Amino acid sequence: MTTPQIRPPEELRPLLDRAPRSIIIGGRAAGAAEGGEIETLDPATGEVLTRIAAGTAADVDRAVAAASAAFPSWRELSPDARGRLLSDLSVLIEENAGELAMLETLDNGKPMTESLYLDVGLAAQSWRYYAGWPTKLSGQTPPISPMVGQSFVYTRREPLGVVGAIVPWNFPLLMATWKLAPALAAGNTVVLKPSEMTSLSALRLVELAAEAGFPPGVINLVTGYGHQAGQALIEHPGVAKISFTGSTATGRRIVTASAGSLKKLTLELGGKSANIVFPDADLALAAQGALTGIFLNQGQVCCAGSRLMVHRDAHDDLVGELEKAAREIRLGHGLADDTEMGPLVSATQLERVMRYVESGRDQGATLVCGGERPDGPLSDGYYLRPTIFTDVRDDMAIASEEIFGPVLSVLTFDDEEEAVRRANSTEYGLAAGVWTSDIKRAHRVAHGLQAGTVWVNTYNMLDPAAPFGGYKASGYGRDLGEESLLGFTQTKSVWVGLD
Ligand code: NDP
């Protein structure tokens, strides 16, 4: 087991020293107007990394004003110039990949390989993808049949104005990217509010955007608590749209708070995704997919395959493989070379997940492995051993509620109809997985599942071109793809009389 005696690398010191001035408005970095600060911890050790500014309504107000002032010239910038800036930022992200990955690992706990290839790699790819869109975002000339005389109509895709982006702590850089890149490509300006637990990569991202040449005020950053800075942003009358990723509970608060000003919303919320394994599947592959599905990012993934539904005939073999692999996963500080799984993001999140482990035990599920914190050198960090429950019933809390930790609930089923019905019997609908070698079954089940993404014989695959978002209480609107871009625009029909 890796020792946690790892300190922040010296090369990050300048950024950690700058962090108390983490509010960037109109290109200028400052502390919070009311002077508040928040400690940022390394979840692997519980030690304080640095402090960030605790922005409040006063800071949000100034940030929205700066974004509003920058909007007219940003929307008028040529599509080519806008795309070039996004592309230049993607290059800078790649050039600074090591630093960004270390920040993400220190702040969130995830292993460096995940930070580097998933968070930073996919963020750079997403900026590059949206860099290509400003020059392709076009309207239509619908074929009309006017009641009187001759006219023609064309449509324009116009930006909305100031967008508020509120992102969580599980993929801080990536989620900020998924909001900012399409919003900016479509000609909007932005105020970003990261989670107060993981704001460092957002701070660096906004600095890099300035280096790439984004004009002051186009991207503004207000760090702070959700109930202060976040709440002020969702209530602000100068904000045209909120794009949010986080819990369903906070998503509901945003819907209520935004009703007065009728803000547009994209909400990417929680999940309880079913990962369904049929007996004709390649079980070795399915086992790998199930492990990645639940243990990536310590299970703190909105689309985690947290309900593993296994056909009764495949159950014992699959669970045997999963248990063996889960017991071998090496816990440790994310910066250590041999770490395969890091700590949870915070003491609060660890307590929350431990409560679910207790409830699983209390409600009669069988704990196959994990369910406990490691002792010894890792005991100061927020670690939990990879946990697997079998004999899980649909009515148990561990089968129906989002745990957001490394806890897998294994359920059994007997036939396809039952699998699809029970997979759909949740308020959520973010993602699902299907493992089978029967191509007809694969498509039948994929079509029957109520989920925004269905993976067949794979899991947790993401690409900036493929829309991502939820059915039901997992939210509405989509991140990624053209669909996300269009969500940051409004359509104007222009009629031209020809008589
Ligand atoms: P939240 O949904 O509360 O946090 C997500 C973001 O929303 C953060 O930036 C947070 O800020 C902000 N926020 C919180 N309250 C408000 C508000 N009133 N107005 C505006 N913004 C707000 O998630 P938690 O951090 O509380 O995590 C709790 C649970 O939520 C997890 O266990 C998990 O189940 C789920 N979750 C799901 C995510 C997903 O990707 N679907 C991501 C994160 C959590 P701040 O953190 O600074 O308070």
Whether residues 252 and 300 share a domain: the answer is no
Whether residues 118 and 240 share a domain: the answer is yes
Would you name the residues annotated as active-site residues?
268, 302
Q: Which domain holds residue 120?
A: 10-269+475-493
Whether residues 167 and 303 share a domain: the answer is no
Q: Determine if ligand 1 sits within 6 Å of the CB of residue 270.
A: yes
Q: Give residue 184's pLDDT.
A: 99
Query: What mean pLDDT value characterizes the chain?
Result: 97
Q: By CB neighbour count within 10 A (0-12 exposed, 13-18 middle, 19+ buried), where does 340 fall?
A: middle
Whether residues 297 and 392 share a domain: the answer is yes
Mean predicted confidence (pLDDT) in 396-416: 98
Q: Give residue 328's pLDDT.
A: 98
User: Can you tell me the distance from the alpha carbon of 285 to that of 304, in angstroms, rounded to the nearest whole number?
Assistant: 17
Residue nearest to ligand 1 atom 35, measured at CA: 247
DSSP run (H or E) holding 209: helix 200-212
Whether residues 382 and 457 share a domain: the answer is yes
Q: Give residue 349's pLDDT.
A: 98
Q: How confident is the model at residue 2 (pLDDT cuts 50, 70, 90)?
A: very low
User: Best mutation site among 195, 245, 355, 357 for ligand 1, i.e. most ligand atoms within 8 A of its Cβ?
Assistant: 195
Q: Give residue 8's pLDDT.
A: 85
Whether residues 241 and 285 share a domain: the answer is no
User: Best mutation site among 110, 196, 201, 247 for ligand 1, i.e. most ligand atoms within 8 A of its Cβ?
Assistant: 247
User: Can you tell me the distance from the alpha carbon of 249 to that of 253, in angstroms, rounded to the nearest whole number?
Assistant: 7
Whether residues 130 and 238 share a domain: the answer is yes
CB atoms within 10 A of CB 1: 14
- Compute the distance from residue 251 Cα to the ligand 1 centre, in Å: 9
- Compute the distance from residue 31 Cα to the ligand 1 centre, in Å: 23
pLDDT tens readout for residues 410-427? 999 999 999 999 999 999
Rg, Å, the chain Cα set: 23
| Count of CA atoms in the C-beta half-sphere (13 A) of 414 | 0
Backbone angles phi, psi at 202, to 5 degrees: -65, -40
Whether residues 118 and 264 share a domain: the answer is yes
Query: Which residues, other chains included, contact 485 with Cβ-Cβ below 8 Å and sequence gap of 6+?
Result: 130, 133, 137, 182, 185, 186
> What is the number of structural domains in the chain?
2
pLDDT tens readout for residues 297-350? 999 999 999 999 999 999 999 999 999 999 999 999 999 999 999 999 999 999
User: Best mutation site among 250, 294, 306 for ligand 1, i.e. most ligand atoms within 8 A of its Cβ?
Assistant: 250
- Compute the distance from residue 404 Cα to the ligand 1 centre, in Å: 12
Residue nearest to ligand 1 atom 6, measured at CA: 168
- Compute the distance from residue 249 Cα to the ligand 1 centre, in Å: 8
Q: By CB neighbour count within 10 A (0-12 exposed, 13-18 middle, 19+ buried), where does 77 fall?
A: middle
Q: Give residue 7's pLDDT.
A: 81
**Residue 235, domain CATH:** 3.40.605.10
pTM of the predicted structure, to 2 decimals: 0.97
Q: Determine if ligand 1 sits within 6 Å of the CB of residue 168.
A: yes
- Compute the distance from residue 246 Cα to the ligand 1 centre, in Å: 5
Residue 1 pLDDT > 60, yes or no? no
**Alpha helices for 49-171 (secondary structure H):** 57-76, 79-95, 97-108, 112-113, 121-131
pLDDT tens readout for residues 475-485? 999 999 999 99
Whether residues 225 and 367 share a domain: the answer is no
Q: Give residue 208's pLDDT.
A: 98
Q: Give residue 5's pLDDT.
A: 63
CB-based contacts of 11-14 (< 8 A; 24+ apart in sequence):
11/99, 12/99, 12/102, 12/103, 12/106
Q: Determine if ligand 1 sits within 6 Å of the CB of residue 230.
A: yes
pLDDT tens readout for residues 179-238? 999 999 999 999 999 999 999 999 999 999 999 999 999 999 999 999 999 999 999 999
Percent pLDDT > 70 in the chain is 99
Whether residues 217 and 313 share a domain: the answer is no
Mean predicted confidence (pLDDT) in 424-438: 98
